[in-house]
Structure 1
Amino acid sequence: MKNRKVIIFMFVLSVVLHVAYGQHHIRGIAKEREALLQFKAAIVDHYDMLSSWTTPDCCQWEGIRCTNLTAHIISLHLPGQYSESLFLGGHSVVSWRYISGEIHKSLMELRHLQYFNLSFNDFRDTNIPEFLGSLTNLRYLDLSSSYFSGQIPTQISSLSHLKYLNLAHNYYLNGSIPPQLGNLSRLEYLDLSGNSFEGYIPSQLGNLSNLHQLYLGRRYHSALKIVTSDQWLSNLNSLTHLYLDSISNFNSSPSCLRTIAKLPKLRELSLSECGLSDHFLLSFNPSNFNFSTSLSVLHLSSNSFTQPMVFQWVSNTTSNLVELDLSWNLLEGSTSNHFGLAMNSLEHLDLSYNVFKGEDLKSFMNICTLHSLYMDRNNMTEDLSLILHNFSSGCVRYSLQKLSLVSNHIRGSVPDLSVFSNLNILDLSNNLLSGKIPEGTRLPSHLEQLLIKSNSLEGGVPKSFGSTCTLELLDLSDNKLSEDLAVMFNHLSGCSRYSLQELSLAYNQIRGSIPDLSAFSNLKTLYLYDNQLSGKIPEGTRLPSHLSC
């Protein structure tokens, strides 16, 4: 009898251990497997994303996860596979694998489902299914970027355990935002941006006291509005990220910004394309208006600021910013040195698409923490050497890692750049630079990418460029270079021959024939088209082993 009890005990223990350590071969729940097969039958799967859905064990299917103990399905993870292969010079190849068709109501059988992700697929002309509201165990729901249309079903408000809801960038979702979403009391993440909603943001969202991240608007010429007298935002004391882009009437609601400024944990705030102007800023008294000290990212792009007073306002209301975006405004003129001295944490500053002149760069030369500065498409017409000399007079020359001056009207040639000791990326493309690059022009010792395409440079590449041991990308395409190709490669054959990965010399007037390139051991991409190369490629000419195009 005693031995029998021991045998039974050992059998039970063996079963428990098999289950606990995943050695038990789970077959799944039959009705849940059937539900998935009905779902598959309604799906259009041109890319065979569901090709594994044939074996008996549905818990082993792609995108499916079951619990070890009960074998119930708890996760359905089938996002489209969107990828962009980005070359160093900005060239990219996009690929997208997705499913489409109908989302079958058989999924209602997955009563234990906690995680549901169908993002980046193609469900155009399809509404978000109302039956999703019956999956009451859901914690995570992501239907973003899948072209759903119609309105948000109010049934979603029944998902009382939901912590994450992402319906962003479906574009054709319309109507008003359901006030019932305020019932999702456990919600921590809500993204409804990039859709076609209209009407007022419901004040019931103020009930979401656990919300950490909220993204609304972000659609060009959005019809979404904020109730100017409403204090619903003041209840969201857990917010760390707040994006209210393209809210059409925000500029008439200074009180909302006062409320936002008091949110104690707010780290990121975006008010892009909200019609904000200098007049809006004048409605605030800096002495009684300050953002929380936690705010580190502020986006104010695509507004109507014209005067540098916005810099003064920012430095008076928040001094802990790490990132400031004021691109796509109408800003011009220089600000006082106070801004540079006050912003002692600022690392990223985007002032692209404004009307600054080159001399205005002096305003930022004392931001000793600045890592990246974007000044694309402004109104710089001065000589490059003068612009950089004025800018490099302060401590920013030691901190700056990326500088972009693309699409201005900058003149002159390429000066010595070695004063910017930590610069990694310099982009001078699409300007009016001309003449030869002087021999001996030194590059920053840590420079990785130099782009001077679409200018009017002549001659060739100075030997000093070949002495930059970190150079990975050199783009001199669309100029008037005419030096012999073999000479150019000879000038680059210093230590940069080991680091260079992409070289673009296309659209020039370069002469000669293709020399032996095997010394450039890491070169992956080489563009030489639209030049004046001639003759035969010499017998025995070797190419770099990693060259792909």
Structure 2
Amino acid sequence: MRTQLSFLGFLIPFYLIFFGLDMMLVSAQCQINQHSVLIQLKNTLQFDSSHSTKLVSWNPNTTDCCTWGGVTCSINGQVIGLDLSNETISSGINDSSVLFNLKNLESLNLAENDFHLRKIPSRLGNLASLLYLNLSNSGFSGQIPGELSLLTRLDTLVLSSNKLEGEFPRSIFELQKLSILLLSSNNLSGTVSMEDFQDRLSNLTTLDLSYNNLSIITSDNITLVNHFPNLSILRLASCNLLKFPNPGNQSRLTLLDLSNNKIEGNIPKWICNASYLKILDLSNNRLNGTIPQCLIEFGRNLAVLDLAHNDLIGQIEGTFPSNCGLNILDLRGNSLEGKIPQSLVNCTMLQFLNLANNMMNDTYPCSLGDNTKLRGLVLRSNRFHGSMRCGQNQHDKWSNLQILDIAHNSFSGVVPAEFLLQWRAMMTGTVVYTAIDISDNQFSGVIPLTIGRLKALYFLNVSHNEFTGSIPPSIGDLSQLETLDMSTNKLTGEIPYSLTRLSFLSYLNLSYNQLQGRIPDGIQLSTFGNDSYIGNEGLCGFPLSKACPRSIAPVPI
């Protein structure tokens, strides 16, 4: 079964760090000794030449190594930059490597390789000119070597997404010129106070300690704006935080991720001063109280607002402004009440809206159909009610919708056949994942034949409603379908033989209807057990123990 994209999980790559070095353009060939070192380095590295784009260009018969892929030289032919990221390197970088003969290196990028849990070479500390070091997602393990503290000129240190472990290295606080520090997604442990950063790393613009085994302690008397005046990106997700850091009037903050912590209490008022925020993720905490009105009224800057899985209450107060720039609004898993604000139509860039698992009481949000960017609408487990009919002139509505989840509400009436035809993104195979879940409502009438037009559909759940009539044979045209649940309705007639064409189907539930006749023979349908058909007294044939009478002939192929 194909990997299915989750919503919220969006989630989301939020961040790319681009680093620029003020280097003069090359006007001379590389020096002979630099050429020799690079050739020796290439010969000691193990990499897949069929996937290499840089190392394969290192030709010993080409005298000017400054023209080779990934190599940057100074005006006098010294190698000062080496970018070997994503070169499938698996070994050859250790404390005896000739790499450390490149004494003038200012930038070294070994990201996106696989060093098979080797340790970070301690001799990196000898490259005293380094300004930029990126070893992210390269399979390094062990502790961060203390020798890195010798890199006193270092501006950017990226060690994220490895298997690094041990106590948080105090030696990092010796790197007083750091502006970017990324250590996320490792196994670092220990307790670290934000006060540890306040004196020596005051130049930080980006700090990411997320997804380790750290416990970050914050103090009410620490005002980060005084000590990190240029802080723009702060990610402390899954850091066992018990309270908010206190950035004060943090006017430069563009990204704040404090998700997956244990923060209690109200969302602090200072958040309203961070008017340049683009991404705010406070999900999976223990926040209570109401949503600050300023977060609704921030305007074009705020693109992602994720407050999911907290204990927030009340209605969504405030007015989304005419210049609303939201792409993702995720408020699921709270105790919010009331209606979806009509002003949400101002958020014309909105792609995902998730209000699941709240107590909202409203009708189907027809006004959002004008948003041609909207790809995901999740309203499950609320108190929504009424029909899905949205009046006339709906032809161009909902055109990019890929995911509709309105399960566990009180919607009723028929599902209009023309309504399904609006979901044109579900008709093409170019989308990654599409799903419809309207289960556990009070829908009635027949399931429209037009469901078969949604040929890109992966997931369809119409269970626990009051649908009548037969299973549309057109469902057999849903060639991508992996999950089909039509259980607990009032469906009648035979199971269409066209369902045997669903070669990707891995879950089928037609139980507790009024179906009859022989279960069609088919390779895919034969893989499902009795539970897929139970509660249909008129069905017979494999896999049921009830044999079909001779009067019921096999369905012809």
TM-score by length of 2: 0.64
Q: Is the 8 A contact 2:434 2:457 kept in 1?
A: yes
Shift of 1:222: 3.1
Aligned position for 1:164: 156
Tell me which of 64, 79, 87 is aligned to 2:85.
79
Deviates more, 1:175-184 or 1:114-123: 175-184
Given residue 119 of structure 1, which amino acid in structure 2 is its aligned partner?
A: A
Match of 1:362, SS?
Answer: coil
Tell me which of 166, 180, 185 is aligned to 1:194.
185
Aligned position for 1:494: none
Tell me which of 416, 425, 433 is aligned to 1:438.
416
Given residue 327 of structure 1, which amino acid in structure 2 is its aligned partner?
A: A
Distance 1:361 1:262 in 2: 32
Shift of 1:507: 5.3
Shift of 1:301: 1.1
Shift of 1:404: 3.2
Deviates more, 1:290-299 or 1:40-49: 40-49
* Matching of residue 408 in structure 1 with residue 384 in structure 2: no
Shift of 1:380: 7.5
Aligned position for 2:344: 367
Deviations 1:325-365 (A, max 9, x none): 1123344x5415x33357963513433651558xx472433
Shift of 1:77: 1.5
Aligned position for 1:451: 434
Q: Is the 8 A contact 1:121 1:145 kept in 2?
A: yes
Deviations 1:94-120 (A, max 9, x none): xxx452464343212112222211112
Aligned position for 1:11: none
- Note closer, same or farther for the CA distance 1:232–1:340 as it changes in structure 2 (3 Å cut): closer
Q: Is the 8 A contact 1:102 1:126 kept in 2?
A: no
* Matching of residue 272 in structure 1 with residue 272 in structure 2: no
Aligned position for 2:543: none
Distance 1:98 1:328 in 2: 41
Deviates more, 1:440-449 or 1:106-115: 440-449
Distance 2:221 2:299 in 1: 24
Q: Is the 8 A contact 1:240 1:266 kept in 2?
A: yes
Q: Is the 8 A contact 2:277 2:301 kept in 1?
A: yes
Tell me which of 301, 313, 318 is aligned to 2:283.
301
Deviates more, 1:141-150 or 1:153-162: 153-162
Deviations 1:254-297 (A, max 9, x none): 5x32xx132232222121123122x354xx5x4x8742332332
* Matching of residue 335 in structure 1 with residue 318 in structure 2: no
Q: Is the 8 A contact 1:147 1:171 kept in 2?
A: yes
Aligned position for 2:205: 212
Shift of 1:143: 0.7
5+ unaligned residues in a row in structure 2: which ranges?
Answer: 1-24, 464-469, 485-494, 509-518, 523-557
5+ unaligned residues in a row in structure 1: which ranges?
Answer: 1-19, 82-96, 490-501, 516-525, 536-549
Tell me which of 446, 449, 472 is aligned to 1:483.
472
Aligned position for 1:462: 450
Q: Is the 8 A contact 2:280 2:304 kept in 1?
A: yes
Match of 1:261, SS?
Answer: coil
Distance 1:513 1:36 in 2: 61
Q: Is the 8 A contact 1:63 1:75 kept in 2?
A: no
Match of 2:346, SS?
Answer: coil
The 5 Å alignment of 1:216-295 reads 216-219=209-212, 222-226=214-218, 229-231=221-223, 234-251=226-243, 256-257=245-246, 260-277=247-264, 279-281=265-267, 286=269, 290-295=272-277
* Matching of residue 59 in structure 1 with residue 65 in structure 2: yes
Q: Is the 8 A contact 1:381 1:409 kept in 2?
A: no
- Note closer, same or farther for the CA distance 1:184–1:155 as it changes in structure 2 (3 Å cut): farther
Deviations 1:162-195 (A, max 9, x none): 332211122424312435545442x332212222
Q: Is the 8 A contact 1:478 1:506 kept in 2?
A: no
Given residue 151 of structure 2, which amino acid in structure 1 is its aligned partner?
A: L
Distance 2:47 2:460 in 1: 42
Distance 1:339 1:503 in 2: 44
Shift of 1:243: 1.7
TM-score by length of 1: 0.65
Q: Is the 8 A contact 1:32 1:110 kept in 2?
A: yes
Tell me which of 339, 342, 345 is aligned to 2:324.
345
Distance 1:348 1:214 in 2: 24
Distance 1:47 1:353 in 2: 47
Given residue 32 of structure 1, which amino acid in structure 2 is its aligned partner?
A: Q
- Note closer, same or farther for the CA distance 1:472–1:347 as it changes in structure 2 (3 Å cut): farther
Given residue 225 of structure 1, which amino acid in structure 2 is its aligned partner?
A: I
Shift of 1:160: 4.1
Distance 1:184 1:150 in 2: 24
Could you say what the CA RMSD is over the residues aligned between the two structures, in angstroms?
A: 4.7
Match of 1:441, SS?
Answer: helix
Distance 2:92 2:36 in 1: 18
Shift of 1:121: 1.9
Aligned position for 2:545: none
Given residue 302 of structure 1, which amino acid in structure 2 is its aligned partner?
A: N
- Note closer, same or farther for the CA distance 1:505–1:161 as it changes in structure 2 (3 Å cut): same
Distance 1:243 1:113 in 2: 29
Match of 1:217, SS?
Answer: coil
Distance 1:68 1:174 in 2: 38
Given residue 299 of structure 1, which amino acid in structure 2 is its aligned partner?
A: D
Aligned position for 1:138: 130
Given residue 347 of structure 1, which amino acid in structure 2 is its aligned partner?
A: L
Match of 1:401, SS?
Answer: coil
- Note closer, same or farther for the CA distance 1:504–1:381 as it changes in structure 2 (3 Å cut): farther
Shift of 1:123: 2.7
- Note closer, same or farther for the CA distance 1:400–1:226 as it changes in structure 2 (3 Å cut): farther
Shift of 1:399: 4.4
- Note closer, same or farther for the CA distance 1:510–1:53 as it changes in structure 2 (3 Å cut): farther
Q: Is the 8 A contact 2:403 2:435 kept in 1?
A: yes
Given residue 401 of structure 2, which amino acid in structure 1 is its aligned partner?
A: I
Q: Is the 8 A contact 1:265 1:294 kept in 2?
A: yes
Given residue 330 of structure 2, which amino acid in structure 1 is its aligned partner?
A: L
Q: Is the 8 A contact 1:100 1:121 kept in 2?
A: no
